[in-house]
Amino acid sequence: MMLQLAKEVVVNLLFSKHYFNKKIIQKSKNASKPKFILSFDPDEENDIKRIPWLLELLKKYNIKASFAAIGIWVEKYPLIFKQIIDEGHELINHTYSHPDNPDLNPYKHFNKISSQERFNEIKKCDEVVFELLKYKMNGFRIPHFGNQFIEDIYPMLEKLNYSFSSSTLAIKSGTGGDPYMVGNIKEFPIMNCPKHAYCIFDTSHAFRAKIVKHSPDDFINTFKDLLSISKKHNLFLNLYQDPQDLHKFDYEKFLKLIDKNRSHFDIVVYGDIL
């Protein structure tokens, strides 16, 4: 484990372009028009409070997105999550208490609790969302992606009649980030950063990481590069962000770049593909 972490740090600092090309660009076999999915993980209370502002911006640029719902936050803020649904966005299951969440459940890790506890976390979130919002979720995102990824989620999702997951990283997918099947579940890997290949291209990495991070301008410029790479190589571009970070850079500029590139991408949510 320590050797793998050391390797990833070295790659992020010295060999990112090589690994991004080898593990993502060369592995991807997508020949169709590239897809673009934008999703948000409102894990902490600071995230939840920024959702109404975020929804206004998404409406302004006519962008539909996916939101990872934690059951406890749905219980506490049902009207905010109802607004997400009412405005045509998608909810996906992000567990009931999000183990290893500083606000909710800081002393547990999703991959270290028992298999039954994992299933209960997923099932309870599903039940809360359906009971309070009358919304049936169809997909799941594991807490903390690669760090706590564990493959026993897939039979659990099948048991709940789910169809998809977005729980792993493009660089670790073996498909360059293209979706792939695990049993009857379609996995949508999250795209990595072209400048720091073993980091997700997300706002947490960009603005809260300790070693490799981005300035606000560099984050926008890296996104421009990622759009260009994706258009050239038909990469499946699946991005996620934390709402609490969106004020740290020019977020409207980010959305304008998506809007400007509409002719090059199918901008969708996961359910559209299924």
Q: Give me the mean pLDDT over the 159-165 stretch.
A: 98
Locate 272 and state its tokens.
């559209």
Note the Cα 229 to chain centre separation in Å: 19
Render pLDDT for 197-206 as a digit per residue (tens, 0 to 9). Answer: 888 999 999 9
Phi, psi of 100 (to 5 degrees): 70, 35
Task: Tell me the domain boundaries of the chain.
Answer: 17-24+33-273
| Residue 8 reports pLDDT greater than 80 | no
Residue 34: pLDDT above 60? yes
User: Tokens 């962008």 map to which residue?
Assistant: 63
Q: What confidence tier does 36 reach under pLDDT thresholds 50, 70, 90?
A: very high
The residue written with tokens 């999250």 in the block is 190
For residues 7-21, average pLDDT: 72
**pLDDT (mean) for 217-226:** 98
Q: What is the mean pLDDT of residues 216-242?
A: 97
Residue 110 has pLDDT above 80, yes or no: yes
Stated pTM of the model:
0.95
16 confidence band (pLDDT: 50, 70, 90): confident
Q: At the fourth CATH level, which superfamily is domain 17-24+33-273?
A: Glycoside hydrolase/deacetylase (3.20.20.370)
What's the pLDDT at 15? 76
Backbone angle region of 63, left / alpha / beta, with phi > 0 → left and psi within -120 to 50 → alpha? beta
pLDDT at 9 over 70: no
